[in-house]
Each structure stands twice: as C-alpha cells, then as structure tokens.
Amino acid sequence: MSNQEYVEELRAERDYVAALYTRLDAERARVHAAHSAALRGNDLGPMERDVEVRAQAKQLKRLDGVDNGLCFGRMDDLAGESSYIGRIGLFDENDEYEPLLLDWRAPAARPFYTATAAHPEDMRRRRQFHTRDRQVRGFTDEVLGRPQGDENGDAALLAAVNAPRGAGMRDIVATIQAEQDEIIRLEHPGVLVIEGGPGTGKTVVALHRVAYLLYTQRERMERHGVLVVGPNPAFLNHISRVLPSLGESDVVFTTTGGLVPGMHVTAEDGPEAARHKGALTILDVLAAAIAGRQRLPEEPLLIELADLVVRIDAETAEWARQEARDSELPHNEARPVFRDIIEYVLTERATARIGKGWLSREDRATWESIRKEVLAELAESQQFADALDRLWPILTPQSLLAPLYESPERLRAAGAPQSLLRSDGAAWTVSDVPLLDELADMLGTSGSTAESTERETRAEAEYAAGVLEILQVDRQDLMDDEDHLLAQDLVEAEDLAQRYVEQDTRDVAERAAADRDWTYRHVVVDEAQELSEMDWRVLMRRCPSRSFTVVGDLAQRRSPAGTTSWSSVLEPYVPGRWAYRSLTVNYRTPAEIMSVAAGVLAEFAPDVAAPESVRACGVRPWSRQVDAAELPTAVAEFVRTEAAREGTSVVIGPPGAPGAVTPSETKGLEFDAVLVVDPQRILARGARGAAELYVALTRATQRLGVLHRDDELPPALAGLAQAPASLTER
C-alpha cells in the first residue's frame, strides 16, 4: 500500500469510527432519557419503577465504560465484506438494525483473533487500529492466507506490550492471541485453571473470560454477579478498570481478607501460625473450642424462685448438653434444646416439691398449672439466664476465636499449637478470615436473631394483608372471569411480603458486600497458589454451582499454607469437573530481564520452565553495590530518574527497606522500571524467599536494576551488568 493509499484509507477509517461514536452518543442519550423517566415514575408501580431504574442505570454504566478505544479493528472476508470489531455491539436503527460494530465476544468476531496465515478462516485481511481516546491514529494490516503472512499480528501486539504502563491494567481486547482466545471462550461448566508464569497474561485472560461469560450467559449470571478475588488491594485497584472497559459492571472485587463483611485485617501471622490456620486440621480445633464453651458446673448453680430454690447440677447439665450435641444443630441453634432439658428437670423438681404431700401426678391439670407458673418464673429469672450463659453461651465467631488466641490453656484444651497465641486476640489476620467464616456456620444464628427475623416476617405479612384488604380484591370474581385471569392476580399476603423484602435498590456489589451468605454464579481467583485449604472452603461456599476461573503459578507460591497442587485442592470439591490450561508466552517481561529471573527460578523450582518472552527491550538489567549509608541516596536517585520518564516505576525490597514495598505487595502488578534492593535479605526470608525474589524481578516491562549491600550478589544474579556510580550516567 502506497503512502497516499494509506492516508486515504486512514481518513475513511476515521470517518467510520467517528460515525460509531455518534451512534454511541445517541444510544447513551436515549438510555439517559429512559433512566430519567424511570426516576420520575411515569405511571409505574414502585416495584416496576425500581427494576427499570436499575436496568437503565446498568446500561448507562455499560455505555460509559467503552468510550476509550470503542472500535479497535476490522476484518475483511474473501467475498469483500468488512466487519468492524469493538468493545460492544452497535446497530443502525434506520436500517433494520444492521450491525455497525460487532461485540468482540460475538461468535462472528472470533476469526479476528483466531485467523492465521495457515488457517485464515475465510478471512482475507485483519486490520488493527492504533487509537487514543476517540481518535484513530493509524492502523496495521495483516494479509491472511499467504505463506509470508504474519501469523500472530506481531506489529499490533508489540506496540501494545512496549507501550508505557499507566495507573491500571489495560485490557487486551484488541490484541488477544489465539491461545488466549481459546481459553477465554472455553465452554467448561466447572473449574478452569489457568496457569502461567510472569507476564503470560493469565490475569487479563481470566477477566476477559468473565466478560465473555457475562455476555453469553447473562441471564444466568447477572442477578448474582461475579466475584473476583485478588491478593491485595493494590492489585484489585490495578485490574478494576478492565471489566468496565469491556462493558461489564456486575462484578465484586475483594481480597480473601474481605470475604467476611465487616472484617478488618490489622495484623499478620508468622509462617507457623499461618500454616496451622490454613490446614483443614484447624476444623478440629474450632470444634473443640466450641465444645469447650459447653460447660458443666463444678458446683450446683442455685436459682431462687418465689417459693423455693432450684439448682442446676452437673448431672442435669450433662444430660442437657448431650441432648443438645446429639441434635447436630449448630451451637447457638442447639441452645434451645439445652435450655428445654434444663427447664424440664427444674420444673419437674420444683412442681414435685411444691405439691409434696398433697399433689398427685394423676392430677395433670394442677400439675401442669404449677409447671407453667415455675416456667414463667424461670423465664423472668436473671439467675437462670446467667446460668444458661455460663453453661451454653450464645457465641459469635469473634467472641469464640479472640479469647482462644489469648489463652494458652484454651489453646491446649482445643489441641491447638501455642504458635496461635497472641496478646490481642481481636487483631485479625488474613488467615483468621476463613476461620471466622467457618465459625459462622458452626455456631449458627442465635435464638434471638431467629426470633427477630420471624417477628419481622410476621409484621411484613400483616402489612401485606392490610394492603390486599384495602385493595378490596374479590378473588372469587377474578377466578370466575377466566378470560382475564392472570397468574399475578392470585397473590397471598406472604407472597406480597416476600416481594416487599426482595425489593432492594442496591446494586449487586453493594448487596453482596453486606451479605455474608451471598452466593455468586462465577468466581475468579487470582494468585490462587497463595490460597490455603481453608480459603478454598470459603470460596466454595460462595459459589454452590462450582463455576470458577482459577489463575495462578505454583512456582510463585510464597504462603506456607498455599496450594502445592491443583488436584489436591480441587478434586475434593469438583471431582473430574476441572480443566487445566497453561500459557507459555511472556508478553510482559523482555528477554533480557526474563533470563535473569529464570536463573532464580532454576534454583528453587528446577522442574518449572520459565515462560518464553515474545520480545527484547535492548536494555540490560544492572546491579550496583552500595553500603548502608549510600542506600537511601541510591534509591532516591532511581526514583528521581524514573520520574522524568514516561511510565511507572517501583522500588521492591524486604520489609523495612527504605522507600520500598515488599514483593508480596506487587503480586500481579507491572511497572516500566523496577529497582530491587537487598536481594540477599529477600532470599533470607524463609523457604519461599526465592519465590519472592522471582516475583520482584519479573514486575518490570522495560528496565530492571538491583542494589545490594557490601555482601555479594546471590549467585543467580551474578551475571548482571555492573552499573556506574551514578544512574544518570546510564
């Protein structure tokens, strides 16, 4: 194509894309008007109005998220027909809804990603646009079906991976590769594991898979939404823009520490404590801790009534405890069983003492009358309430676990290691979250909570019955009028009450965040190798359908309680229902940096092959030796130098390193430039220190530097080029 032809083609493409934006703006204005009308009511009932408001608000959010890079390419088939591919589908309303823009997830758009020179799939040409905001800056053509064709669309791909990094992760919708597209569109109803080394795009592939599932299974998935679990808040912030940019918003982002509403993680466990808390054997500890709070009195507990004193002895309490345990109800829900046995014994004994000498058991009416009076006294007795609380207390997960951690005696009694002991039991850690979640089920709701819920339900039903009475609906007349009878005409008070309760105007994310019992239709787990056995139990409870996309790299595991085998954690939950796919091409880390990281990988995971980098950057990684006094100055110099360049940078080091973040805080993130300080101290952080150094080295997309103290570089880094005394000389 001559330069003149290119200019003319570019002008035509700009005109077409401008028309797409005009259509997008018109659709946005239409939805905005519909949203405003719904807010005003427009003769809609309250329920219908709220449904319409939420639907239009969701559509507005979808349209607002696709403004940047709306259309990213075009494909031409052998018949000369052209199709434009973009973030969402747009249609020409004036031409029987002729498609102006194909949604990238639509089946018709798939050849844009899968067609190659060897297998063109009836495509003649693939054109990829280079855009900024709403403007097409240029395009790259790939002619298909010829031996000299470029199978992978390298020009557009390399332009994307070489571009400076911004504040958040970018989608890859314009440059999805064939191996990635296969995973994104995989029709698998169970758990899909995507494993890949650093820079292989496993996270962004998982997010595009979510967008694809929401597109193809929207009716099934959107009401309950999708949960995305990441390793830390910085990572979640990094990836949070991807799905909205693809037109999807029914997604909840959280860390494992946020899986229990209202929880605040303020502390960190040592390796030994984290390992014990993450293992399934902790379930026995929790059960023993609960049993330890179901106590027998050492001395009889006296209850003073109006005419006599009754007592709860160890024998009575033991019978009641056994009956409550045999009920197999959660602890709090078994308390009424315990109370009923105690009340039965006390009232029988009290009645016998009151009627001694004059009351026969054959006189059941009098006997029962006295029993009821005694029972009423017990219900009003603070001594009796205190005794129940002492012997079978109502417990919350927090009120059980915090005292357990603070007491060496309770830990021993529960069979727990003393490594769990801490001075502030309520200083919660990430490892405590699955335990607290487990205890919510093991303890159950308290009787007072259940009674309160029942009262609220009765009140709502009474209100609904009043509404029906006001409406004065003659149901028999409705039933006689067979021509006009509809299903919604037959409504009971309880049905109307349920509709009233279900009417919740919050969006999915808000409702899910406040509801520990919320379940999702699909769950994405990133950095899944860090999850413990207990973490997996929490997540499986959150998704009864067991529909998961699991993303990880076992070689990068740093948690002592983390996953060592996908089969070992998944087979107990989804036997035979999980699939494995791997990504082997590194799109992020240049070859010069990956060769350094591969040396570290070879030392701690010799059986794992490093991903193959798709590009080189032409800049050699370097190292520089500094003493303790020089280190802060050298770090500041790196920060100052990188601030003058386009892109992002970070300093990574062991805890306490000046101006540095730890490797775990950068999991899943990427930066144009990375400075690693004190690599030897990172390696010294236990058995997973090498994995942490591997993570640190593979965050850079362009430039990597290493600062080490007077000690020598770790052997795996010995090949780094020596930097000059000043970074400004580089």
List the beta strands (DSSP E) in 117-201.
Answer: 123-132, 135-143, 191-196
Query: How many CA within 13 A on the CB side of residue 524?
Result: 30
SS3 153: coil
202 is in an annotated binding site: yes
Q: What are phi and psi of 57, to 5 degrees?
A: -65, -40
Q: What are phi and psi of 625, to 5 degrees?
A: -90, 130
Q: What are phi and psi of 580, to 5 degrees?
A: -125, 130
Residue 28 vs residues 215, 249, 388: alpha-carbon distances, Å: 19, 16, 62
The answer to whether 375 and 303 have CB atoms below 8 angstroms apart is no
61 is in an annotated binding site: no
714 is in an annotated binding site: no
CA angle in degrees (0–180, nearest 5) for 4-9-12? 130
145 is in an annotated binding site: no
The answer to whether 320 and 342 have CB atoms below 8 angstroms apart is yes
CA angle in degrees (0–180, nearest 5) for 142-143-149? 85
> Which residue bears the tokens 């360049």?
645
Structure tokens at 162: 């070489």
Q: Kindly report the number of other CB atoms within 10 A of residue 356's CB atom.
A: 8
> Which residue bears the tokens 């973040």?
661
589 is in an annotated binding site: no
Cα 8 to its chain centre, rounded Å, is 47
198 is in an annotated binding site: yes
List the beta strands (DSSP E) in 495-554.
Answer: 522-525, 548-552
Q: Give the chain's radius of gyration (CA, Å).
A: 33
CA-closest candidate to residue 551, choices 209, 254, 214, 259: 209
Q: Kindly report the number of other CB atoms within 10 A of residue 87's CB atom.
A: 26
CA-closest candidate to residue 626, choices 726, 717, 709: 709
Structure tokens at 401: 């676990």
Greatest pairwise CA separation for the chain in angstroms: 119
> Which residue bears the tokens 């801490």?
422
| Annotation: binding site | 196-203
| Annotation: binding site for ATP | 196-203
